[in-house]
Amino acid sequence: MFRRSRAICLALASALLLATAGGEAQARSRIKDIVEFEGVRDNMLVGYGLVVGLNGTGDSLRNAPFTRQSLEAMLERLGVNIRETNLNTKNVAAVMVTARLPPFTTAGAPIDATVSAMGDAKSLLGGTLLVTPLMGANGEAYAVAQGTVQTGSVSAGGASGSSVTKGVPTAGRIAGGAIVERELGFQLASMPQMRMALRNPDFTTARRVAEAINSVYPGAAFVENPTIITMRPPVGVNMVAMISRIENLPVDTDEPAKVVIDEVAGVIVMGDNVRISTVAIAQGNLTIRVQETPAVSQPNAFAQGQTTVTPQSTVDVEEEKGRQLVLLRNGASLSSLVAGLNTLGVTPRDMISILQAIKAAGALQADIEVM
């Protein structure tokens, strides 16, 4: 019986150690989650086009001359001359079309496109975007968009002029509505070196990333600054193989002590590295209540006076009692700070004032960022 109990205890202890080790492993971050690889990014595309087939909710051609000019130019390319004619259609809208070109996308791959009205169109619901080239920052066309616009909005109106709109009917998406026509030509495998940028720059984290890479490829990585880590693949290893090997390496990240305060929403976020020097905190509220009670002054029956209303004021002052000084020792951690403020029973908005006062006293060893 004793051996069985001992075995059970050993099994529980082993499970606890494994759980603790697993929790520590999960707390570490992978390199791919904390860095951006140079050149591996999306590219923004933009284009100008026309949406047709609207149910009288398009642009007014008198108020949107660019829509009229675009419509005339499009029809002329199709062999229809409508210049010097009186156009009065409201089934066409000029739009801007945007898309994101993912890295390493091949020609012929579909990507999503976003359509937004430019003129005074009321809704793009049910309209069809005509062929629209999407260009990059260099002016070259990389994709072509066309398709039915889906806004996901609801709009209804009555004869009296009242209307209800849910969502934004003047902007929509075309899922897979853009086709990639040109590849970026980014040759990752043949790159002699790769620069990685930390999403949260930090000297310690950058050094740890370089050490993790050098543990697999000795001497391949070095730190340029708190943001950039440069690595060079060894002989016989291309860049793609090297990145696929090192991107899942675990790294213990570090961050500076910071307190972020959103005064509008009353939200406070404190990092684990926030420390407090020896300080005493007291907090109390003073409430002054003024109450006005009107009283009627009625003269005698045979008097010559008039009935008047005289105010009677009652002033009451209340001050919270029982709030004592809370002492936080030197080097107090985040948990000690939170426990001390909770002891005072302060609200989040009071905590904001207390933290700012502690910082002003020089006892808060952290930066305060007010949003």
Q: Are residues 311 and 366 in the same domain?
A: no
Residue 333 placed within a domain: yes
Residue 36 placed within a domain: no
Q: Are residues 267 and 353 in the same domain?
A: yes
Residue 17 placed within a domain: no
| Sequential DSSP letters for 191-223 | -S-EEEEESS--HHHHHHHHHHHHHHSTT-EEE
Residue 28 placed within a domain: no
For range 105-127, the mean pLDDT? 92
pLDDT band at 311 (very low <50, low <70, confident <90, very high): low
Please write the tens of the pLDDT for every residue from 232-257. 999 888 899 999 999 999 999 888 88
In angstroms, the CA 256 to CA 274 distance is 8
**Lowest mean pLDDT, pick from 168-177, 234-243, 274-283:** 274-283
pLDDT of residue 8: 35
Q: CB neighbours of 236 closer than 8 A, spacing ≥ 6?
A: none
Residue 68 placed within a domain: yes
> Into how many domains does the chain fold?
4
Q: Are residues 278 and 308 in the same domain?
A: no
Q: Is 350 exposed, middle or buried (0-12, 13-18, 19+ CB in 10 A)?
A: middle
Q: At what angle do helices 239-246 and 203-216 cross, to 10 degrees?
A: 110
pLDDT of residue 248: 92
In angstroms, the CA 205 to CA 356 distance is 29
Looking at the chain, list the stretches that DSSP marks H as alpha helix, in order from N- to C-terminal side. Answer: 2-27, 31-34, 65-77, 203-216, 239-246, 334-344, 348-360
Share of the chain above pLDDT 70, in %: 73
Asked if 143 contacts 101 with a C-beta cutoff of 8 angstroms, the reply is: yes
Residue 258 has pLDDT above 50, yes or no: yes
DSSP, res 296: E
Q: Are residues 298 and 334 in the same domain?
A: no
Residue 363 placed within a domain: yes
pTM (two decimals): 0.68
Q: Are residues 211 and 268 in the same domain?
A: no
- Of 198, 226, 251, the one marking the end of a domain is 251
For range 300-326, the mean pLDDT? 61
pLDDT band at 316 (very low <50, low <70, confident <90, very high): low
Residue 115 placed within a domain: yes
In angstroms, the CA 297 to CA 294 distance is 10
Q: Is 30 exposed, middle or buried (0-12, 13-18, 19+ CB in 10 A)?
A: middle
pLDDT band at 270 (very low <50, low <70, confident <90, very high): confident
Identify residue 177 by its one-letter amino acid code: G
Residue 89 placed within a domain: yes
Domain with 85, as residue range(s), is 43-152+166-180
Q: Are residues 245 and 274 in the same domain?
A: no
Q: Are residues 229 and 136 in the same domain?
A: no
pLDDT of residue 335: 64
pLDDT of residue 162: 65
